[in-house]
A = this chain, B = another copy of it.
Amino acid sequence: MTEAHKPGFSDCNNATLRRAARSLGRFYDDALAPTGLKSTQFGLLFQIHISDEPAMGTIAEALIMDLSALGHTLKPLIRDGYVETFPDKDDRRVKRVRLTPQGEAKLDEALKLWGVAQQQFEDKVGAEQAAKLRAALDAVADLDLEMPTAASSN
């Protein structure tokens, strides 16, 4: 076969993905810096915004993140007054989430800066390519991966 270039991270799908995530994350973080929000927080606020007072579990599922991780990530946003929670009317185990007026305002503010970064990115890779990449990433994220024969070998 071809004289494979430096293997390094290149071979591991996961390592490559994380590396790209660090790189792109920095870019979007820089873009949002003036708002005081991290790109992850921005994404979370947006997800809450487009949902209808979602339960924590619902958000976690949509973002494919651990429920407890979501709880942790939500704390600074609640502390800063951007988000608030309230119990579900029918199931007291369920805690629903919504943006506060300040949260909505902050999101609007962030959306403008996000747009600049997003545009910048798409100008570089092309809107078409970017859309394809996102589709591919969504497909990967939604894969039902499972370890075949879990352990107990040799």
Contacts and interface: CB of A to CB of B under 8 A. Distances in A.
Contacts of A142: 7, 23
Contacts of A46: 8-10, 12, 15
Contact of A18 (B21, B124, B140): B21
Q: At the interface, is chain A mostly helix, strand, loop or mixed?
A: helix
Given A10-B43, A65-B22, A16 B143 contact: no
Given A10-B46, A13-B24, A141-B7, A133 B134 contact: no
Contacts of A34: 151
B141 A133 contact: no
9 contacts: A4-B51, A7-B50, A9-B62, A15-B46, A18-B25, A20-B138, A22-B141, A23-B140, A125-B139
